[in-house]
Chain A
Amino acid sequence: MKQGYWILAVLLSHWRRHPLQLMTLMVGLISATALWSGVEALNQQARASYDRAAAVFGGSRTAMLVGQRSSSFSQQLFVDLRRAGWRVSPVVEGRVRVQGRPLRLLGIEPVTFPAQAGSIPAVGAPDLKSFITPPGEALVAPETLTALAGTEGAALRTDDGESLPPLKVHARLAPDVVVVDIGLAQSILHLQGRLSRLLVGNTRSRLPPLETVAGDMLRYVEADAGTDLEHLTDSFHLNLSAFGLLSFLVGLFIVYSAIGLAFEQRMPMFRTLRACGVSSRQLNGVLLIELLVLAIAGGLIGLACGYLIAAGLLPDVAASLQGLYGAQVSGALALRPEWWGAGLAMSAIGTLAASATSLLKVIRLPVLAAAQPYAWRQSQRRWLGWQGVTAAAMLLAAIIVLTLGDSLISGFAVLALLLLGAALALPVLLALVLRIGERSSRRPLVVWFWADSRQQLPALSLALMALLLALAVNVGVGTMVESFSKTFTAWLDGRLAADVYVNAMSEAEARDIEASLRARQEVTAILPSGRAEIEIGGRPVEILGLADHATYRDRWPLLESRPNAWGDLKSGEAAFVSEQLARRLKRRPGDRLDVGTPTGDWSLRIAAIYADYGNPKGQIAVNIDAFTTRFPDLPRTRLGLRVSPGKIAPLIDDMRKAFHLDESRLSNQSTLKMESKVIFNRTFAVTAALNTFTLGVAGVALLTSLLTLSHSRLPQLAPLWALGVTRRQLAGIEFLKTIFIAFITAMLALPLGLLVAWCLIAVVNVRAFGWRLPFHVFPLHLAELVVVAMLASLLAMLIPLLRLMRMPPAALIRIFSNER
């Protein structure tokens, strides 16, 4: 034990003598852990919020029945439907104010609440009893409890004087929602005997038609007609995760190079320790402990930094998710124990992985062999050959996996193989370029310049690989995001072609609205539309009815079409199919598609394929008249309006007054579009921030490599100085060399980055979501990145260069005489 302590003390003395090396190692560990855990914290926060939202909505995942004519309907309909075999559960909903704070009050019935609708009803036996028997309970999220300055068990009053049951925290609820038993909610909201909606549980039973039980009082709303948060936000989180993992890898490169150097420099020390009688097992054990201590220390600081990063980015992330997908993400970062555990584990495992080769070398260290510091660099030439072979094998494997695999996992494997293969190939390619430079030079100093660059290459290669990866992924992800942004804008214009959308309560009201609109000059077109849910291949598919109008003809985002596609659509014989569905069914324009409808099978020819980004469900579009013939029972309540520019706002005001249409039934597309774009920009703000972070980490990698090199390179520079090259000249040569190497790396990163972007767009996205974005190259973005990379290298060079320029001649003489 005591011996172990002394060994550790000896080992640690190295770090005391090389604080810069220790700092390098810590920077690597901290940046690896910080970015990874920061992103992870954001993802966890978002996912937890979706679960909570799903628990409350109980609507996005569950089909619903809602009032056809008004926002509430008689409770007797619930009983009638249950008695007819419908597995429905009642919900009453309204707004209340407590202490001036607006809250959403939900009344649920836990005994019939469908299991798939969320977590609220999973009230255990004692909970159920206290929930449904007087005085009942008001379930709220922890944030809401804090905001109301209440304690559990406190009974609050609404600002209207109604008393709420005692508060109880339910961690999985969304903020600003209060859940109480249905009877209590009815009395608080003055809706005795009334319901807001009925949740429809999953069932395979044959049910009597809704109309035979409820007449035309209720309308069926398919599950998921709005959004499925998890599906929709997948791409967003994928993006974040990719960045987190990348930063982690780049950080590990730094750790790898720092540990490699430290082990090499300590070889004589290890040999001496072994010669003093320390067993190999003891030495390795202590080395392992040393590494773990460093990993945990670095990991803890990294986690703290990760928390700060996550907290800093959360407002932007939350705003993007809220705006893009309507997903409420709670603003207070809640960290779970798993997060801490996973962060430390990642740090420890990463450190061990990065030091595996070095450790193995120590294990095999012969006691009597002369320790040869820097031997690793001398044998690098052999390594270079091996690395080249490995790189080629990896790139070949990437091509094989790309052609053979068709799963998402294989898509990611292609990406990983491509990046690793390219990173390994980098030193080989750089060596090649430098050799060509050397061959084509005559002047001695220039030849030395090339030769010295090559000599320096092995030591720099890890940092350069990190730079290459960071740049390539930046290019790749940047290109994907910009492509998406560009496509999204055009696509939004196409899909939200009408100026105003109306969804009437009933067919009669829709006809009234239509009649009143016909009288108005500024309404240039009234476009009825329809929507129904069908099944194709056992999976739900939306079917849209589109009016035959220039609005759609000019703007609908067709990807591929047959000649006269719109004409075919009008005939009712043809359909447009969304890209996701076409891919899933492996159909192309010209193929046939059979659709089951209430009036029998409908055989359609596929006239075109259109983009439907972000929709997890398949979709087909047909002509509205043909749609109405095939789905005669569906009320025609949806209208799209084209309105003369500038007349939209007054029209909406008038309609709102005349027909009491709220925002969910009457929407102005230009506002919606503008909001979407603002939100998209915020999303990219997050991506840009993460991009900068990764590039920063790569810069740090370069800096640390140059710093550790600058010491060991002096013996090579001293003779030149002795031959008459000034320190200023030497510094200039060093500067040119590094900039040149970094520049070549950046230039290699550009094609690699575009390849990564192609992989993301054409392989990963397609396999993950079923749609493919058009591939755009953004030269300005690429140029910008090269400049940033150059600046990062410049910054990294600054300290070593200044040090060289200011080195006293005496020091150089000493090195010259010592080393020769």
Chain B
Amino acid sequence: MSASPKISRRAFATGLAFFGFGRSASLAQNFAGLGGDASGFASVMPGKSFEFPRDHGPHPDYRVEWWYLTANLRDSTGNALGVQWTLFRQAIQPGPQREGWANQHVWMGHAAVTRADTHRYGETFARGGVGQSGVDAHPFHAWIDSWQMRGLDRMSAMNVAPLEVNASHEEFSYALRLEADKALVLQGEAGYSVKSERGQASYYYSQPHFTAAGIVTIDGRSANVTGQAWMDREWSSQPLAPDQTGWDWFSLHLETGEKLMLYRLRRTRGEPYLTGNWIGSDGQSVALSPKTAEMIPTATTDVAGRRLPTGWRIIIQDRGMTIDTVPLNPESWMGTRVSYWEGPVSFTGTHRGVGYLEMTGY
């Protein structure tokens, strides 16, 4: 139960964290209270047919939802850096959306930039219904305060591109332009992503094929950057089982152009629930068989009073893959109200490349 205050987007998904507004005791109560009860909200069922651009917009009948972007970039001198942009939506009561301040949705934005020696992050919150934050499906526009992700003219609904995304906080700011020549990818089984043997699930699609270019400013120093980016879209009403304590989640760009999404859900007792998708260079997404994949922690880092596994060995037998990941900055801790570790990684072994690692519930 001690893990409950340190949860992030996946745990946020249960609605239990409520943006960290509470203290640990109340979170622990919420864990038992809200985690098991999603009544009044829509359920995630297999066999949904996705429709774009409509599904780029919010799904207020579901309790939680997010627009999540990570980018692995390099500046003109070749130094690696990472950028994160996230918008979360949570409904605190079911039912039709109410007008104005009575609206029952609360929005949370997270943004971060990471270099080998620096990690800067910011967060912001908003109530729905008044315009401070929200998402329009068409023309695509997701925003909270001055942070936004916006579809440019002639945006392709299937490619979710071109997009521009920006955020600024006290010590950093960034503005990126994203392009993609391949269509988005449905994760899990045709976008139905199972989170536990007991059937908790979410709707989940990604655009892992973005190329990115723009400017990142950290502590007053600006750099032109280029690289690749990955967007995740997920919504659900209760995607976590009550005994699941946190996640270790990877999104990896292989040098071959293939992509790997892989995560394991830890639980209080028993083996973690491991799952993922292999996305071929042709854009075809195939769910991995959990029995053939392994995630083994190889190195730990003490950060923010916690011990986190920041080095991993990933083995996927079907694909002949054995890789070791290292973090760009092992101290990529998001000390936000809902806190977690999120930062860029690189890997070597049978395959090479870069990606993002997120670890929650530590």
Asked whether A125 lies within 8 Å of B146 as measured between CB atoms, the reply is no
Asked whether A85 lies within 8 Å of B145 as measured between CB atoms, the reply is yes
Which residues, 143 to 184 on B, are CB-close (under 8 Å) to A? Answer: 143, 145-146, 168-171
Q: How far is the CA of A132 from the CA of B127 in the complex (A)?
A: 10
Cβ of A647 within 8 Å of any chain B Cβ, yes or no, is no
Give the distance to chain B from A19, nearest Cβ to Cβ, in Å.
54
B30: which A residues are within 8 A, CB to CB?
Answer: 125-126
**Residue from the list A78, A83, A181 in contact with B146, Cβ < 8 A:** A83
Q: How far is the CA of A497 from the CA of B146 in the complex (A)?
A: 46
**Residue from the list A78, A83, A125, A182 in contact with B143, Cβ < 8 A:** A83
Cβ of A508 within 8 Å of any chain B Cβ, yes or no, is no
Interface centre among B18, B29, B101 (most CB of A within 10 A): B101
Asked whether B92 lies within 8 Å of A83 as measured between CB atoms, the reply is no
**Residue from the list B21, B126, B132, B168 in contact with A85, Cβ < 8 A:** B168
B101: which A residues are within 8 A, CB to CB?
Answer: 109, 181-184, 186
Cβ of B32 within 8 Å of any chain A Cβ, yes or no, is no
Cβ of B131 within 8 Å of any chain A Cβ, yes or no, is yes
**Residue from the list A125, A134, A182, A186 in contact with B22, Cβ < 8 A:** A125
Which residues, 1 to 21 on B, are CB-close (under 8 Å) to A? Answer: 17-18, 21
Q: Which residue of B lies closest to A113 (CB)?
A: B125
Give the distance to chain B from A72, nearest Cβ to Cβ, in Å.
15
Cβ of A84 within 8 Å of any chain B Cβ, yes or no, is yes
Known contacts being A75-B130, A79-B132, A183-B100, is A125 close to B170, with CB within 8 Å? Answer: no
Q: Which residue of A lies closest to B146 (CB)?
A: A85
Cβ of A361 within 8 Å of any chain B Cβ, yes or no, is no
Q: Which residue of A lies closest to B106 (CB)?
A: A111
B18: which A residues are within 8 A, CB to CB?
Answer: 125, 128-129
Cβ of B306 within 8 Å of any chain A Cβ, yes or no, is no
Cβ of B26 within 8 Å of any chain A Cβ, yes or no, is yes
Give the distance to chain A from B336, nearest Cβ to Cβ, in Å.
13
Which residues, 95 to 125 on B, are CB-close (under 8 Å) to A? Answer: 100-102, 104, 106, 124-125
Asked whether B130 lies within 8 Å of A111 as measured between CB atoms, the reply is no
Cβ of B93 within 8 Å of any chain A Cβ, yes or no, is yes
Cβ of A203 within 8 Å of any chain B Cβ, yes or no, is yes
B143: which A residues are within 8 A, CB to CB?
Answer: 83
Known contacts being A79-B132, A125-B21, A133-B104, is A112 close to B125, with CB within 8 Å? Answer: yes
Known contacts being A85-B145, A111-B125, is A205 close to B170, with CB within 8 Å? Answer: yes
A182: which B residues are within 8 A, CB to CB?
Answer: 101
Cβ of A82 within 8 Å of any chain B Cβ, yes or no, is yes
Give the distance to chain A from B144, nearest Cβ to Cβ, in Å.
8
A124: which B residues are within 8 A, CB to CB?
Answer: 21-23, 26
Known contacts being A82-B126, A181-B101, is A133 close to B93, with CB within 8 Å? Answer: yes
Which residues, 668 to 726 on A, are CB-close (under 8 Å) to B? Answer: none
Q: How far is the CA of A129 from the CA of B125 in the complex (A)?
A: 14
Asked whether A126 lies within 8 Å of B104 as measured between CB atoms, the reply is no
Q: A142-184 toward B: CB 8 Å interface, digit per residue (1/0)? A: 0000000000000000000000000000000000000001111
Asked whether B131 lies within 8 Å of A79 as measured between CB atoms, the reply is yes
Q: How far is the CA of A112 from the CA of B124 in the complex (A)?
A: 8
Cβ of A123 within 8 Å of any chain B Cβ, yes or no, is yes
- Counted as pairs of residues, one from A and one from B, with CB atoms less than 8 Å apart, the total is 75
A204: which B residues are within 8 A, CB to CB?
Answer: 170-171
A109: which B residues are within 8 A, CB to CB?
Answer: 101, 127
B23: which A residues are within 8 A, CB to CB?
Answer: 124
A123: which B residues are within 8 A, CB to CB?
Answer: 21
Q: A186-202 toward B: CB 8 Å interface, digit per residue (1/0)? A: 10000001000000000
Interface centre among A76, A111, A129 (most CB of B within 10 A): A111
Asked whether B169 lies within 8 Å of A205 as measured between CB atoms, the reply is yes
B104: which A residues are within 8 A, CB to CB?
Answer: 133
Q: Which residue of A lies closest to B128 (CB)?
A: A111
Known contacts being A82-B126, A124-B22, is A133 close to B92, with CB within 8 Å? Answer: yes
Q: How far is the CA of A146 from the CA of B137 in the complex (A)?
A: 51
Q: How far is the CA of A109 from the CA of B103 in the complex (A)?
A: 13
Give the distance to chain A from B18, nearest Cβ to Cβ, in Å.
4
Cβ of B135 within 8 Å of any chain A Cβ, yes or no, is no
Cβ of B212 within 8 Å of any chain A Cβ, yes or no, is no
Q: How far is the CA of A84 from the CA of B148 in the complex (A)?
A: 11
Give the distance to chain B from A187, nearest Cβ to Cβ, in Å.
9
Give the distance to chain A from B83, nearest Cβ to Cβ, in Å.
18
Cβ of B27 within 8 Å of any chain A Cβ, yes or no, is yes
Which residues, 191 to 233 on B, are CB-close (under 8 Å) to A? Answer: none
B131: which A residues are within 8 A, CB to CB?
Answer: 76, 79, 83
Known contacts being A133-B92, A203-B170, A205-B168, is A84 close to B26, with CB within 8 Å? Answer: no
Give the distance to chain A from B170, nearest Cβ to Cβ, in Å.
5
A84: which B residues are within 8 A, CB to CB?
Answer: 146
A78: which B residues are within 8 A, CB to CB?
Answer: 130, 132
Give the distance to chain B from A551, nearest Cβ to Cβ, in Å.
44
Give the distance to chain A from B5, nearest Cβ to Cβ, in Å.
10
B127: which A residues are within 8 A, CB to CB?
Answer: 109, 111-112, 132
B102: which A residues are within 8 A, CB to CB?
Answer: 134, 183
Known contacts being A125-B30, A204-B170, is A132 close to B92, with CB within 8 Å? Answer: yes
Q: Which residue of A lies closest to B107 (CB)?
A: A111
Give the distance to chain B from A135, nearest Cβ to Cβ, in Å.
11
Q: How far is the CA of A642 from the CA of B18 in the complex (A)?
A: 58
Q: B16-47 toward A: CB 8 Å interface, digit per residue (1/0)? A: 01100111001101100000000000000000
A125: which B residues are within 8 A, CB to CB?
Answer: 17-18, 21-22, 26-27, 30
Give the distance to chain B from A47, nearest Cβ to Cβ, in Å.
24
B171: which A residues are within 8 A, CB to CB?
Answer: 204
Give the distance to chain A from B125, nearest Cβ to Cβ, in Å.
5
Q: Which residue of B lies closest to A130 (CB)?
A: B92
B21: which A residues are within 8 A, CB to CB?
Answer: 123-125, 128
B93: which A residues are within 8 A, CB to CB?
Answer: 129, 133
Q: How far is the CA of A150 from the CA of B102 in the complex (A)?
A: 26
Interface centre among B21, B92, B171 (most CB of A within 10 A): B21
Asked whether A129 lies within 8 Å of B169 as measured between CB atoms, the reply is no
Q: Which residue of A lies closest to B20 (CB)?
A: A125
Give the distance to chain B from A208, nearest Cβ to Cβ, in Å.
9
Asked whether B22 lies within 8 Å of A82 as measured between CB atoms, the reply is no
Asked whether A129 lies within 8 Å of B92 as measured between CB atoms, the reply is yes
Interface centre among A82, A84, A186 (most CB of B within 10 A): A82
Q: Which residue of B lies closest to A112 (CB)?
A: B125
Which residues, 54 to 90 on A, are CB-close (under 8 Å) to B? Answer: 75-76, 78-79, 82-85, 87
Q: Which residue of A lies closest to B101 (CB)?
A: A183
B170: which A residues are within 8 A, CB to CB?
Answer: 203-205
Q: How far is the CA of A85 from the CA of B166 in the complex (A)?
A: 12
Q: Which residue of A lies closest to B27 (CB)?
A: A125
B22: which A residues are within 8 A, CB to CB?
Answer: 124-128
A205: which B residues are within 8 A, CB to CB?
Answer: 168-170
Give the distance to chain B from A213, nearest Cβ to Cβ, in Å.
11
Give the distance to chain A from B13, nearest Cβ to Cβ, in Å.
16
Interface centre among A78, A129, A182 (most CB of B within 10 A): A129
Q: How far is the CA of A127 from the CA of B17 in the complex (A)?
A: 13
B132: which A residues are within 8 A, CB to CB?
Answer: 78-79, 82-83, 112
Can you sample 26 A-B contacts with CB below 8 Å?
A79-B130, A79-B132, A82-B146, A83-B143, A83-B145, A83-B146, A85-B168, A87-B124, A111-B125, A111-B126, A112-B132, A123-B21, A124-B21, A124-B23, A125-B17, A125-B18, A125-B27, A125-B30, A126-B29, A129-B18, A133-B92, A133-B93, A182-B101, A183-B102, A204-B171, A205-B170
Interface contacts beyond A82-B146, A125-B30, A181-B101: sample of 17 additional A-B pairs, CB < 8 Å, sorted by A: A75-B130, A78-B130, A82-B126, A83-B132, A83-B145, A87-B124, A109-B127, A112-B125, A124-B21, A125-B26, A126-B30, A129-B18, A132-B92, A132-B127, A203-B170, A204-B171, A205-B170
Chain A interface residues toward B at CB < 8 A: 75-76, 78-79, 82-85, 87, 109, 111-112, 123-129, 132-134, 181-184, 186, 193, 203-205
Closest A-B pairs by Cβ, 10 of them: A183-B101, A125-B22, A85-B146, A124-B22, A125-B18, A79-B131, A204-B170, A124-B26, A111-B125, A125-B26
